[in-house]
Amino acid sequence: MADDDAYQLPDDPYQWLEDVLGDEALTWVRERNAETSAELAESDRFTALRGEIREVLDADDRIPYPVRRGEHLYNFWRDAAHPRGLWRRTTLASYRTAEPAWEIVLDVDALGAAEDENWVWHGAQVLRPGYRRALVSLSRGGADASVIREFDLVDKAFVADGFTLPEAKSSVGWIDLDRIYVGTDVGEGTLTASGYPRLVQEWRRGTPLSEAVTVFEGKHEDVSVNAYHDPTEGHEHDIIHRSIDFYRDETYLRTPSGLVQLDVPDDAHSSIHRTWLLVTTRSQWSVDGNVYPSGALLALDLSAFLTGRRDFDVLFAPDEHTSLEYHTWTRHHLIIGTLRDVRTELTVRTPGPDGWTSTVLTGLPDTGAVYISDTNPDDDDEYLLTASGYLQPATLYRAELTPASGGQPEILKQAPAFFPTDGQSVHQYFAVSDDGTRVPYTVVGPSRTHTPTGDVPSDEPGNAAAGGPTLLYGYGGFEVSLTPGYSGTIGRTWLARGGTYVVANIRGGGEYGPDWHQAALRENRLRAYEDFAAVARDLVARGITTPRQLGIEGGSNGGLLMGVMLTRYPELFGAVVCSVPLLDMRRYHLLLAGASWVAEYGDPDDPDDWAFISEYSPYQNARPEHRYPAALFTTSTRDDRVHPGHARKMVARLREHGQNVRYYENIEGGHGGAADNEQLAHVSALTYEFLWRTLAATETH
């Protein structure tokens, strides 16, 4: 049943749809699915779209992205013959060849068939430094909740009487061969209000879980707690994290004499590598006469920090155009990824007796986005790096930060091109939001649609008459940055058919650091929506599209964005695709993991918070007297992160009001919306068929 039946709002006649597996609710779902399939899934174009997407998803010449575990490179691979996937490995020498010799470690399809389960791979934690044992996570149907089972990488089999956990939103981590840290549901009071572990326990092999020793307890209102062991020889650490809310946490060292809390701001993120403590600030930090800005990366010797020193080295400080995106260690070096107006730059910082030196990684293509996909900080200075752009397929590089190699990368693999790019171009523009903030967005599409300004003569490219079907994507939350990247699916289904694709970097994201995110937090949430609306208006002003031909798409928090656009700015759009969304913001904190997002949105049980949440909550703001653009809502029955009741109830309300709305709910898939490539291709083809039918000037079936 629903999470809290006592919380029945008098104006919510559709709360029964929160009963995820209830007969009445699932009957409603099947009826909506049938209607949507009859409308969208029976055309020749839908069949072609689905086939093209499958070709992209199942292509044999995709890059098999690896991670190093000892002497092997491991990869998880799905294709048409193995829809649930193969966990496999090879050597670097073999990986360099055109046809690597892959050794299958675990066949998830075969496992599911043997055990009569719909297993979906959720990853594995491998025991360092020997790399023989792994804790494998398997989900039923793609839900966040997983079963944990110990696996032997030499025998390639699950360990009889090994560490095993039943289905739950667990956290686990190796301490040594015979001990693990575990957080899971072990009875009443052991989970937080968000449904994640409240306890960290040490569990010893051969003993029942009921005898695991509790080493840390969080509070019921926390988001979660977890622990891990760093086995780096000579620098072993046991670290416990308590997530107070989504943006505040506490970090403790577990020592023989007890827990030692790291004295850093609770909104900062800290990490340890060998002798170094790194701190990433989310607000200005004044300590011992030093002032460190928000969004900075700081470094200090850990032992010095524990004795009271606070004179950090500032390894990165943001400016108006540049923010910290990520950082990752090799054995001796720290690679720092930054965004400069949403384009990636990489710098290497190296500690030495005279302080930190700095060099810029060179020899990389100018593609817009580069990221470190793997390093091996236990052993060496190897790194794997991926570079791609909106029109540039990904390239995987390998390099070593050693004097002998000079750090110059070698190409290991190149992804295929899935669509023609002749006549396509990429341009970044800036829209001006209601409060005067300049908001970047990127336009990808036919070159004729792009001009430096919207003020152009009527016979020049970019005039509104030359506009066409345009798809605008956004997210705007949780400090997530939307960076350039190649998508064969978008390229084939949208760009190659003449559509224009746009990505909006609105506030709430992390493109310009913590301040960019915090500017749209809680009571300032409307700024994110004003930003997105400003981008939509700017696209029209530049002649790239028209409101009737402008479609929008977003999922999860981006689904909330779509719901707000639908109900608050209906005149700006011709079509809306809303996936795995939050929409009922009056009850979101009571549904599944919703309580963990109160720091982002506010607490609707607090009258002051509900006052600003109620201004935009889509479910409460849907009005029968308004006409909304055509909409498609999609979700998954197995989504145990964002409750499918959000989408179900919104569609039911819009149908009651006579709106132009359709709905599709995949039974499997979790928060990703699909459990395998076949399901993903089907849902994606529904989306693009809906968009082409709705936005194209002429229909082709």
pLDDT band at 366 (very low <50, low <70, confident <90, very high): confident
**Which alpha helices (DSSP H) does 41-142 contain, by range?**
44-58, 92-95, 108-115
So where are the chain's domains? 27-54+419-695
pLDDT at 5 > cutoff 80: no
Burial 148-183 (b: 16+ CB within 10 A, else e): bbbbebeeeeeeeeebebeebbbbbbbbeeebbbbb
- How do residues 51-92 score in pLDDT, each as one tens digit? 999 999 999 999 999 999 999 999 999 999 999 999 999 999
Token pair, residue 617, equals: 């909550």
Write down the pLDDT at residue 3: 41
pLDDT, tens digit, 9 for 90 and up, residues 76-87: 999 999 999 999
Residue 537 above 70 pLDDT?
A: yes
Query: Crossing angle, helix 526-541 and helix 557-568, to 10 degrees?
Result: 70
What is the Cα–Cα distance from 673 to 669, expressed in whole angstroms? Answer: 5
Q: What is the pLDDT of residue 448?
A: 59
User: What integer pLDDT is reported at residue 23 of this predicted model?
Assistant: 97
CA–CA separation, 223 and 595 (whole Å)? 8
Residue 396 backbone phi and psi in degrees, to 5: -100, 125
**143-150 average pLDDT score:** 96
Angstrom distance (rounded) from CA 171 to CA 240: 12
Strand partners, 88: 75, 104
Give me the pLDDT at residue 406, please.
Answer: 59
Tens-place pLDDT, residues 101-138: 999 999 999 999 999 999 999 999 999 999 999 999 99
Q: What is the mean pLDDT of residues 289-313?
A: 97
Band (pLDDT 50/70/90 cuts) for residue 510 is very high
Q: Quick check: is 671 catalytic?
A: yes
Centroid of chain to Cα 458: 41
pLDDT-derived band at 698 (thresholds 50, 70, 90) equals: very low
Identify the band that residue 10 occupies on the pLDDT scale cut at 50, 70 and 90.
low
For residue 701, is pLDDT > 80? no
Q: How many CB atoms lie within 10 A of CB 560?
A: 29
- What is the pLDDT averaged over residues 169-187? 97
Overall size of the chain counted in residues: 701
pLDDT at 13 exceeding the cut of 90: yes
Closest CA to 523 of 434, 612, 616: 612
pLDDT of residue 601: 98
Q: According to the model, what pLDDT value does residue 668 have?
A: 79
pLDDT one-digit tens code per residue, 443-471: 999 985 444 444 333 333 344 345 799 99
Strands (E), 210-289: 213-217, 224-230, 237-243, 249-255, 258-261, 269-273, 276-280, 285-287
**Architecture label for domain 27-54+419-695:** 3-Layer(aba) Sandwich (3.40)
Q: State the Cα angle at 455 between 449 and 459, rounded to 5°.
A: 60
| Burial 541-551, CB ≥16 within 10 A → b, else e | ebbbbbbebbb
Give percent above pLDDT 70 in the chain: 95
Residue 676 has pLDDT above 90, yes or no: no
- The closest alpha carbon to 277, from 242, 312, 244, 243, belongs to 312
For residue 11, the model assigns a pLDDT of 75
- CB–CB of 346/386 below 8 Å? no
Q: In this model, does residue 475 exceed pLDDT 90?
A: yes
From 556, 579, 596, 617, active-site residue:
556
Mean pLDDT for the stretch of residues 564-591? 98
Per-residue pLDDT tens digits for 583-629: 999 999 999 999 999 999 999 999 999 999 999 999 999 999 999 99
Phi, psi (deg, nearest 5) at residue 683:
-65, -40
Helix (H, G, I), strand (E, B) or coil at 415: coil
556 in catalytic set: yes
Residue 219 clears pLDDT 90, i.e. is over it: yes
Task: Please pick, among 327, 671, 682, 684, the residue that the annotation labels catalytic.
Answer: 671
- Mean pLDDT over 634-638 rounds to 95
Which among 314, 321, 368, 325 is positioned nearest to 343, based on CA atoms?
368
Q: What is the mean pLDDT of residues 358-383?
A: 88
Q: What is the DSSP string of 593-639?
A: GGGGGHHHH--TTSHHHHHHHTTT-HHHH--TTS---EEEEEEETT-
Residues 345-362: what's their mean pLDDT?
A: 93
Cα–Cα distance, 475 to 284 (Å, whole number) = 26
Question: What's the distance, Cα to Cα, between the start and end of the chain in Å?
Answer: 42
Pick the range with the lowest mean pLDDT from 140-149, 165-174, 233-242, 661-670.
Answer: 661-670
pLDDT at 697: 53
**In whole angstroms, what is the distance from residue 14 CA to residue 648 CA?**
8
Q: How confident is the model at residue 407 (pLDDT cuts 50, 70, 90)?
A: low
Angle (CA) 640-644-649 rounded to 5° is 155
- Band the pLDDT of 9: cuts 50, 70, 90: very low
Q: State the chain's mean pLDDT as an integer.
A: 93
Please name the amino acid found at residue 601: Y
Confirm if 395 and 33 have CB atoms less than 8 A apart.
no
Question: pLDDT band at 402, cuts 50/70/90?
Answer: confident
- Rounded distance, CA 510 to CA 554, Å? 17
Residue 191 DSSP symbol: B
